[in-house]
Amino acid sequence: MEFIKIIVENYIATITINRPEALNAMNKVVVAELKKAMEECVKNDDVGVIVITGAGEKAFVAGADIKSMQKMSGREALEFSREGQEMTMVIENSPKPVIGAINGFALGGGCEIALACDMRIASENAKFSQPEVALGIIPGWGGTQRLPRLIGKGRAIEMIIGGEMIDAEEALRIGLVSHIVPQPELLEKVYTLAKSILKNGPAAVGAALECIHQGFDKHLENGLDIELNAFAELFETDEQREGTTAFVEKRKPNFRK
């Protein structure tokens, strides 16, 4: 792949969006490559947690590539938006947890990729915004839908129609990220979180994520049904037997043979 690097180590896949000369802005090729990278990591048995970050110290992703959008027709824009949304759905639907390591500007499509991740950890220099309206367009990779769900409708409306850029502290305050660390410590912090998740049953982690994502917008009773079935299904797995037996035998479970 031209713009994406994947490194797999100790069950952690680090996907780096690597187009630093354009602050990792994403044209159609980068979008397709990120989707493919995610699909490969989801399929790879040596991967338990996926980390998405940007190359360099300045940007996570500065958005969709504005130069490539300048002359798009409505029809081409529909396709570009659909491809971007599909890429974010592969991230959101991943049964393996995805952590966004937000190492700088996360603007427009960059903020939307961060929103599709299960968790977001930011470096102190990270900045977030949905600045599309300043370009005479709107977020096209899920921002109008995921941002209100994550931070609340009022604050999301302010960000989306105001286009303001917020710093890491404000992102932490409104729940857009869960931790801030100095930039040199960003990946270390993310890997510590990844390692703590990797100790747990992979099927259980995947099932928990699925329940949360599938149930989020549903009526409580429907969400509880999703949980009920997933809970029961885990009792048909070796993982449940290993986890509960290990507790009874006073030893650590061995989920990854």
User: Residues with catalytic annotation?
Assistant: 112, 132
Q: Shortest Cβ distance from residue 7 to ligand CAA (Å)?
A: 24
Give 97 or 140: the residue with its C-beta nearer to ligand CAA. Answer: 140
Q: Shortest Cβ distance from residue 241 to ligand CAA (Å)?
A: 45
Q: Shortest Cβ distance from residue 123 to ligand CAA (Å)?
A: 15
Q: Shortest Cβ distance from residue 198 to ligand CAA (Å)?
A: 32
The tokens of 79 are what?
A: 């396709």
Task: Return d(Cα 193, Cα 187) in angstroms, integer.
Answer: 10
Q: Shortest Cβ distance from residue 31 to ligand CAA (Å)?
A: 9
Give 64 or 211: the residue with its C-beta nearer to ligand CAA. Answer: 64
Give 15 or 107: the residue with its C-beta nearer to ligand CAA. Answer: 107
Q: Which H, E and C letters describe the chain, residue by residue?
A: CCCEEEEEECCEEEEEECCHHHCCCECHHHHHHHHHHHHHHHHCCCCCEEEEEECCCCEEECCECHHHHCCCCHHHHHHHHHHHHHHHHHHHCCCCCEEEEECCEEECHHHHHHHHCCEEEEECCCEEECCHHHHCCCCCCCHHHHHHHHHCHHHHHHHHHHCCCEEHHHHHHCCCCCEEECHHHHHHHHHHHHHHHHCCCHHHHHHHHHHHHHHCCCCHHHHHHHHHHHHHHHCCCHHHHHHHHHHHCCCCCCCCC
Look at residues 189, 59, 57 and name the one whose alpha carbon lies nearest to residue 129.
59
- Please report, as ranges, the residues that interact with ligand CAA according to CB under 6 A: 22-23, 25, 62-67, 84, 105, 107-109, 112, 131-132, 135, 139-141, 143
